[in-house]
Amino acid sequence: MVQLYFTDGSALRAPVSVEGVPVDLSVSLTEAAGRIGLMDGMPFFLDRNGSYLHEVNQFFRACQTMGVRSRHSLRAYAHDIFVWMRFLEERRGGKQLWRADYNDVIAFHHARRLSDAPFRISASSWNRAIAALDKLYRWALEEGLIASSPFRYDLSFRHGHGRGAPKVVEGNRARERAARRHDMQFVDIGRYLAFRDIGLRGRLPDGSEDPAWRGRNGERNAVFAELLVTTGMRLGEAGSLIIDELPRLTSDSPRILLFDLPGAITKGERPRRIRLPRRVLKLIGDYCDIERHVAAAKAPPPPVVPFVLSSDGCNAINGSGRRVALTRLRPQDRQRLLRSPDGMPEHASLWLTERGQPVSSGTWEVAFRRASQRCQIFGLDVTVTPHMLRHTFAVNMLSMLIREQVGAIFNPTDAHGAAYRQMLGDPLRHLQHLLGHTNITSTYIYLDSLAEAQELVDAAADRWTAELMADDR
């Protein structure tokens, strides 16, 4: 039976056990992994006999050239392809991945969408799976691995803006058009604070210390959550930060400090400016002075790595002495970056494990899941993921931006068109830039979750009614 695994870059730096004897991997192996661009978290499949499934694994390596660069997207793609391969193996007579046909797609839809409630997935989850499989089979067609795709397509015309000719759009017939395009979840401030203090920090519901708490890295995890919820950064972005690229905190620092998030670690490689509250920067500084300092001191001697931070903190120097701008380093390169603040080399990553190694995305996800479970033990209906904190930031930020505009919106001297642009255009544009969305339509989803939006609609309806009554008089 096929098995799914994910690459763990830290395993290259840890000794392996051979007949009970710890053995370090050779320098040539670790350097080879760096040369081929081995990405931490990259999915790969092994066959039932343990053999490497070269063709499907090659697809994951090619995903970065097809617009799929996020480790979370790759993980989702891998899960959907894994379920499909298991379905073909168990329910379709052991059929191979590249021999699937349209009848298999129909049977898959019946099993995933028309089953009883406990086994039925949502339409949005089904569409996500179809998107992954569609990309896989389109790639296989281009590579000559298959002669035809198991999917069927409908052609339609899409008229763009301007005078350009309409475009022919090919739509996968298996996609359910009635499905919601967005499934956005966020937490209110009260539940977030309970998650942070009770779940991550291990306190009791009354705020006191829990003598039975045996969790580790609670303060580090709480500060990380504060960074996500106050900046809207994605997990991969915040987790890839280098300690030297954060702004310096001084006695006259403003309430909000700015720093540029490099495109090499953002979704779609779009750099943007982050507004970091001084309070959160101070929490990060306290973590660095105590918890991170202790962790870095416990780290074993680092192996040969391709990058060392320059003295000015702006460049990385590889083994041949060549300088590479820090802003160009990808997340996997940043995990191999060293710095020497006191003459002793240590990892440059902002977030370190107890052994002084960079914290992986999987570690953060496990910490959030365990914190949610701890909250539920105390009877609290709290489930939080790192990405939910990004949504939480967006909803609350949009609420505050709209409140700032309310006075101008209902200014009787303001034209209706200008008021509408000020009500929706400016706040949404600001939020779009804060979140790093390419298209503002991606930002519209937060309006549906905004309590103030309904209040504004009600107020506008009252004003319209009042104007009509005035005309009747």
Which is higher by pLDDT, 366 or 65?
366
pLDDT in tens, 213-226: 988 899 999 999 99
Architecture of domain 189-304+343-377: Orthogonal Bundle (1.10)
Share of the chain above pLDDT 90, in %: 52
pLDDT for the residue 423: 46
pLDDT in tens, 275-315: 999 999 999 999 999 999 999 988 887 666 678 999 888 89
| pLDDT score recorded for residue 465 | 57
User: For the range 431-438, what are the long-range contacts, defined as Cβ-Cβ under 8 Å and sequence gap of 24 or more?
Assistant: 431/394, 431/397, 431/398, 431/401, 433/272, 433/273, 434/232, 434/272, 434/275, 434/394, 434/397, 435/232, 435/390, 435/394, 436/261, 436/266, 436/267, 436/268, 436/270, 436/272, 438/268, 438/270
Quick: pLDDT tens for 6-34.
887 666 666 666 667 776 666 666 666 65
Among candidates 108, 39, 40, which has minimal Cα distance to 80? 108
pLDDT tens column, 162-204: 555 667 778 899 998 755 555 578 888 899 999 999 999 999 9
Q: How far apart are CA 69 and CA 158, in angstroms?
A: 27
Band of the pLDDT at 412, cuts 50, 70, 90? very low
What band does 378 get if pLDDT is binned at 50, 70 and 90? very high
How far is the C-alpha of 215 from the C-alpha of 198, rounded, in Å? 11
Q: Which of 18, 25, 30 is nearest to 319 (CA)?
A: 30
pLDDT of residue 361: 87
pLDDT at 252 over 60: yes
Neighbours of 346 (CB within 10 A): 20
Q: What is the pLDDT of residues 102-132, one digit of tens each?
A: 999 999 999 999 988 788 998 888 999 999 9
pLDDT at residue 85 is higher than 50:
yes
User: pTM of the predicted model, to two decimals?
Assistant: 0.70
| pLDDT for 467 | 55
Fold for 3-153, please state it: DNA polymerase; domain 1 (1.10.150)
Q: Higher-confidence residue: 19 or 421?
A: 19
- Which residue type is seen at 230? T
**pLDDT tens, position by position, 448-473:** 666 545 555 555 556 555 655 665 55
Q: What is the pLDDT of residue 158?
A: 65
